[in-house]
């Protein structure tokens, strides 16, 4: 990942202003520690902090067209850049950077070229010929982008809020799949697939088509000139990413300079479910596995820094971001600069446990659409900012534009949980990789039930967070929370604590509005509660704290069963399904 900052239409063009923009851009240096760049044209500034993944020697930014009339600062990766270069034969390229195509595509096609890009990206492009500019963000919002406005009429864009929050009167999240044009003076959506419009698909399920699309999504993300690996929790999604990547490396010459053996990484408390599961998968795949440990106290000590970097006070995001933040530092210390991760699968295939209660295929599909659209506020934000805090880039093959089109085009009847047919959550994905002749994973791993990341690193992690919050937030403080925080009022001590830390770094009203609203309870989406009101009884966003899904694992880890609604629940998952008992999970 890189860090971008653009300030366009400044009334002040003094050296002091230039120095201020350099200072603000420096706040993003963790995202791009390899080089810094700044281009100034009259009252417009484009700054860049580079993490060199492709063409490390000559791909410094900002980037230009041939006569330097077009300037662009980009955060991201364009996976089809070589194909696009083939369409731009009349243009002269100065670097081997995948992002340089953006300047030439604009020259050739104007503002409507964005849909041609296959990748994750946020960019700002300045056309000095008429001093117009555009800004755009990838389809799902894998890379972050914020937009702000100054009192002098200037327009600001930045990869992270911290680079513009002090100098803008108002700022907001730049919407995924959108483009802003100064000529039109407004945002418009450039990404308009049928699923985004919430049309109910009817394409029959073809497991081979789905498998091949995912394999292509993983392979294209191996485009790199630096060491890389896979974040492996041992769950279905990360295990499939590792299985496909490992198989491809063994059969091809890609990345031979780093060795054909795939490196995998996992973090957890001693004895955590993730560590055990990840080692099993790594042993099966034959990866070079790196197992990292952290203590609850180490996680607590990092909380303030984590919230500063991820720029949110959402409870589940903070919980999961902290171990990911700690792991990213360890990974970077090994010289690795890029990792693949498994975000997005649960949203696409209805993998969260409350999808068991979806009443029909229409409701299931509409809920998957809503969850994918919100990913930029949750899992994408976590995966990007937790890793970028240490100059590490995370790539997410499940959110590949082509794979997403295929997966979201499947008749959602196939995604319904059907115990009578032996179909558990994400059955269509599991079945696509269920190959007896050449297995990607052992059966018990392929059909392993979902575990929340913040739970999988060790159940006492969440317990430790709650205890920590209880020590710092009194009953009186929580009772009066609505007066202190009338907007997005925290409803638990843990949520209150995260909010106080967030407000210390980002005290302005626009900052708190960039975080999703609603009470911090499990399955807080209206649909989850509509499908089964029992979810409202669970005050905790953790999947394992719900009605018994992870009871056995919790008891094994902590030595005692969890207390659920005032009673210990030793029943297993399948028995609870038969009894019609609901289960909650984080949203």
As annotated, the active-site residues are 2
Cβ contact 239:445 at 8 Å: yes
DSSP string, 331-400: HHHTT--EEE--TTHHHHHT-SGGGGG--SHHHHHHHHHHHHHTGGGTHHHHHHHHHHTTT-EEE-GGG-
Q: Residue 39 in contact with residue 83, Cβ under 8 Å?
A: no
What's the burial of 96, exposed, middle or buried (CB within 10 Å: 0-12/13-18/19+)? middle
Secondary structure (DSSP) of 402-448? HHHHHHTTB-GGGGS-BGGGTB-TTHHHHHHT--SSS-SS-HHHHTP
3-class DSSP state of 451: coil
Q: How far apart are CA 383 and CA 508, in angstroms?
A: 25
Q: Could you tell me the two tokens for 185? A: 């003076």
The helix or strand, by DSSP H or E, that contains position 281, with its residue range, turns out to be helix 273-285
Task: Sort strands 186-189 and 178-181 into parallel, antiparallel or unpaired.
Answer: antiparallel
The residue with tokens 């600062």 is 73
Rounded CA-CA distance 411/203 in Å is: 5
Distance CA 479, CA 488 (A): 14
If we measure between CA atoms, which residue out of 216, 145, 304, 501 comes closest to residue 490?
A: 501
Query: What is the chain's alpha carbon radius of gyration, rounded to the nearest angstrom?
Result: 23
Instruction: Tell me the two tokens of residue 392.
Output: 């590490």
Structure tokens at 306: 């984590």
Query: Which residues lie closer than 8 Å to 161 by C-beta, 6 or more apart?
Result: 146, 171, 311, 506, 511, 514
Angle 240-244-249 from CA coordinates, rounded to 5°:
145
Which of 274, 256, 273, 257 has the alpha carbon at shortest distance from 265?
A: 274
Q: Which residues contact 486 (CB under 8 A, 6 or more apart)?
A: none
Between CA 362 and CA 391 the distance in angstroms is 41
């Amino acid at each position: 990942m890189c860090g971008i900052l653009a300030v366009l239409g400044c009334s002040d063009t003094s050296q002091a202003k230039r120095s201020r923009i350099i200072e603000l851009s420096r706040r993003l240096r963790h995202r791009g520690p390899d080089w810094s760049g700044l281009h100034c044209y009259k009252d417009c500034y484009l700054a860049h902090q580079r993490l060199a993944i492709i063409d490390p020697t000559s791909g410094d930014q900002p980037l230009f067209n041939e006569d330097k009339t077009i300037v662009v600062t980009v955060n991201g990766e364009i996976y089809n850049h070589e194909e696009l270069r083939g369409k731009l034969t009349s243009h002269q390229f100065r670097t081997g950077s995948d992002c340089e195509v953006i300047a030439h595509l604009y020259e050739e096609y104007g503002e409507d070229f964005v849909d041609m890009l296959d990748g994750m990206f946020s960019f700002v492009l300045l056309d000095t010929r008429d001093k117009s500019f555009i800004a755009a963000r990838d389809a799902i919002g894998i890379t972050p982008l914020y937009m702000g406005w100054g009192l002098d009429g200037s327009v600001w864009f930045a990869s992270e809020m911290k680079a513009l929050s002090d100098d803008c009167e108002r700022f907001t999240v730049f919407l995924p799949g959108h483009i802003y044009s100064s000529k039109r003076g407004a945002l418009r959506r450039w990404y308009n697939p049928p699923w985004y419009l919430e049309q109910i698909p009817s394409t029959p399920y073809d497991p081979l088509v789905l498998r091949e699309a995912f394999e292509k999504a993983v392979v294209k993300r191996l485009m790199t000139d630096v060491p890389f690996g896979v974040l492996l929790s041992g769950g279905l999604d990360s295990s499939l990413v590792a299985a496909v990547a490992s198989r491809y490396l063994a059969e091809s010459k890609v990345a031979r300079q780093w060795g054909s053996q795939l490196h995998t990484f996992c973090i957890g408390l001693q004895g955590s479910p993730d560590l055990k599961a990840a080692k099993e998968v790594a042993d099966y795949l034959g990866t070079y596995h790196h197992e990292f440990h952290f203590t609850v106290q180490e996680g607590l000590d990092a909380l303030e820094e984590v919230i500063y970097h991820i720029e949110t006070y959402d409870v589940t995001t903070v919980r999961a971001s902290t171990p990911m933040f700690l792991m990213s530092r360890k990974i970077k210390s090994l010289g690795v600069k890029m990792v693949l991760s498994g975000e997005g699968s649960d949203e696409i295939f209805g993998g969260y446990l409350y999808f068991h209660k979806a009443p029909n295929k229409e409701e299931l599909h509409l809920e998957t659409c809503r969850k994918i659209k919100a990913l930029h506020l949750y899992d994408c934000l976590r995966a990007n900012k937790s890793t970028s805090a240490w100059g590490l880039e995370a790539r997410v093959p499940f959110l590949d534009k082509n794979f997403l089109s295929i997966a979201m085009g499947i008749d959602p009847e196939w995604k319904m949980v059907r115990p009578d047919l032996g179909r558990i959550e994400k059955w269509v994905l599991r079945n696509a990789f269920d190959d007896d002749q050449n297995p990607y994973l052992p059966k018990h791993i392929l059909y392993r039930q979902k575990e929340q990341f913040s739970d999988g690193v060790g159940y006492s992690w969440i317990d430790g967070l709650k205890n920590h919050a209880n020590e710092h937030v009194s009953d009186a403080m929580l009772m009066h929370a609505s007066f202190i925080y009338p907007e997005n009022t925290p409803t638990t001590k843990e949520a209150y604590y995260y909010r106080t830390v967030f407000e210390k770094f980002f005290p302005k009203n626009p900052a708190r509005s960039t975080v999703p609203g609603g009470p911090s309870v499990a399955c807080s989406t209206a649909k989850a509660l509509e499908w089964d009101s029992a979810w409202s009884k669970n005050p905790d966003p953790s999947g394992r704290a719900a009605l018994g899904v992870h009871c056995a694992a919790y008891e094994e880890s902590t030595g005692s069963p969890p207390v659920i609604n005032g009673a210990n629940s030793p029943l297993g998952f399948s028995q609870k399904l038969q009894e019609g008992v609901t289960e909650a999970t984080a949203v």
